[in-house]
Amino acid sequence: MCPVPEPQSPGIGAGTITAAVRALVPNHPACAEALTIAKASLPASILYHSIRVYMYAQAFLRIFQDSDTPPKTPTPDGRSPSGSGCDTRTPPHVLFVACILHDVGTSQDHDAIPERFEVVGADVAARVLRKHGIGEAAIRDAWLAMSLHTSPGIAERLGGTVRAVRLAVRADFGSYPVPPPDTLPGGAETMNMIRWKLPRLEIEKDLGDAVVRQAVMDPQKAPGSSWPGDLLRAKRAEPNWDGVNKAF
């Protein structure tokens, strides 16, 4: 009997946003444009991941606001890090643009730009937000959150949007607890929607492969001390490995 092939993630532009999911998107022209860019540029797995990150980031901002002691990543000696103060007033439309575009730099549209995908995506978001009249302080906040979302030990210390996006990414990849359902907009109903309407598909493989594909074409996209650099080294160490990148 022939083996049954593993299910493949729908390709670029194939992600489906249901009416229920779209209802969670802020009603703002910047969000509409950012979502259009993401849908046209990303495979379904990365698109759905980006929406999950938005849901989790909202929850983390709510947790920070409601708690006198926001969740922090301890320092190596067990102390709580400094920098507990954080701006939790991030407008939902700014947060959405930052989240939905945080991985858009991995798309083929940006292969020729010799910068890390995190920075490329942050630049795209900044242009979208600026086009729709968003203030420079909010744009800088979104830019930092996106450009630092793979920077462990830095983003967690900066608070506000930067920390919320970083922890949301970590939560979606299992290195930080997923926020409780009652902290999500819509509560348990939203958590069920995340599970059934935004399937994970092959997000780890698809994202890792996209980053490495660009890095092989242009090593400037994968500096030695960066997450893209780690992925590229792992690929070069085992070029025939076809699973999830071992440095993911």
Domain ranges of the chain: 19-201, 202-248
Residue 199: exposure state from Cβ atoms within 10 A (0-12, 13-18, ≥19): middle
Q: What is the CA radius of gyration of the chain?
A: 18
Going by C-beta distance under 8 Å and a sequence separation of 6 or more, which residues neighbour residue 3? none
List C-alpha distances in Å: 120 to 104, 108, 242: 8, 12, 26
Which segments of the chain does DSSP mark as H helices, in order?
Answer: 19-22, 29-41, 44-66, 92-100, 117-131, 136-147, 155-158, 160-172, 187-197, 203-217, 227-237
- Would you state the pLDDT for residue 9? 67
- Would you state the pLDDT for residue 90? 87
Per-position pLDDT tens, the chain of length 248: 444 344 456 777 678 899 999 999 999 999 999 999 999 999 999 999 999 999 999 999 999 886 544 444 444 333 334 343 344 478 999 999 999 999 999 999 999 999 999 999 999 999 999 999 999 999 999 999 999 999 999 999 998 999 999 999 999 999 999 999 999 989 999 999 999 999 999 999 999 999 999 999 999 999 998 999 999 999 999 999 999 999 99
Q: Tokens 């439309």 correspond to what residue?
A: 93
H or E stretch covering 8: none
The angle that helices 92-100 and 44-66 make with each other, rounded to 10 degrees, is 140
Q: How far apart are CA 52 and CA 168, in angstroms?
A: 8
Q: How far apart are CA 235 and CA 245, in angstroms?
A: 7
Q: How far apart are CA 139 and CA 94, in angstroms?
A: 8
List C-alpha distances in Å: 232 to 226, 229, 242: 10, 5, 13
Sequence length of the chain is 248
Assigned CATH for 19-201: 1.10.3210
Tell me the two tokens of residue 222: 């994968």
- Would you state the pLDDT for residue 226? 96
